Amino acid sequence: MSASKRDELVQKALKAFYRGGFHAMGMDALAKETGVSKTAMYKHFRTKEDLILAVLRLRDEQFRNWLIRRVEALAESPRGRLLAVFDALGEWFAEPEYRSCMFIKASSEYQDRAHPIHSAAAEHKRLLLGYFEKLAREAGAKEPEELSRRILLIKEGAIVMAHLGDREAVAKSARGAAEDILAAAL
């Protein structure tokens, strides 16, 4: 399988896992969904978990790049960008194919903290936390580490609640909570 075929497989597997979950999507179903035989999959990935890790790396890159670009397009100031996180989330929540967070799903399906898939999910959240902390420092927060943790908590809660309920209302409420926290922190 060429590198481009491998990349295509990872992209298709990302969509399949996002829709169907990691454990629920067996290799037979994945082969059917991606149009790639199990034999071809196993030539590039020794295990299903290796494929999942490749999918998580791709999703991390795609999501963080999208979020940062979108936040920077929506606001110029660091404070405005911390709030724009929630405007961007509202756009994501409005997408018809929205199915919550792949990393939340991965960490709940692979609950052992030492498992590489759980670790990959945690690393994604750590990288987002770092971005929020950078913005908090630039905004002049008294306690940028604490502010960034709170922003991340609101973001993660909003993702879960948007999956369970009224996506538009959740996005607005999350932004309002972030405004309250920023008012106290800056």
Q: What is the pLDDT of residue 67?
A: 98
Q: What is the mean pLDDT of the chain?
A: 95
Each residue's pLDDT tens digit, 86-107? 999 999 999 999 999 999 999 9
CB 98 within 8 A of CB 92: yes
pLDDT exceeds 60 at position 112: yes
Q: What tokens appear for 91 in the block? A: 């756009």
CB 60 within 8 A of CB 102: no
Q: Is residue 38 assigned to a domain?
A: no
pLDDT exceeds 80 at position 2: no
CB 38 within 8 A of CB 51: no
How many other C-beta atoms are found inside a 10 Å radius of the C-beta of residue 167? 19
Average pLDDT (76-85) is 98
Q: What is the pLDDT of residue 117?
A: 98
Distances (CA, A) of 30 to 16, 24, 69, 97, 110: 7, 10, 31, 18, 19
Range of the domain at 116: 56-185
DSSP string covering 109-169, please?
HS--TTSHHHHHHHHHHHHHHHHHHHHHHHHT-SSHHHHHHHHHHHHHHHHHHHHHS-HHH
Higher pLDDT, 43 or 55: 55
Q: Is residue 76 assigned to a domain?
A: yes
Q: How confident is the model at residue 4 (pLDDT cuts 50, 70, 90)?
A: confident
Q: Is residue 97 assigned to a domain?
A: yes
Number of structural domains (the chain) is 1
Q: Is residue 61 assigned to a domain?
A: yes
Q: Is residue 1 assigned to a domain?
A: no
Q: Is residue 2 assigned to a domain?
A: no
Q: What is the pTM of this model?
A: 0.93
CATH code (residue 67): 1.10.357.10
Percent of the chain with pLDDT over 70: 98
Q: Is residue 164 assigned to a domain?
A: yes
Q: What tokens appear for 144 in the block? A: 């940028």
Percent of the chain with pLDDT over 90: 93
Q: Is residue 93 assigned to a domain?
A: yes
Q: What is the pLDDT of residue 3?
A: 66
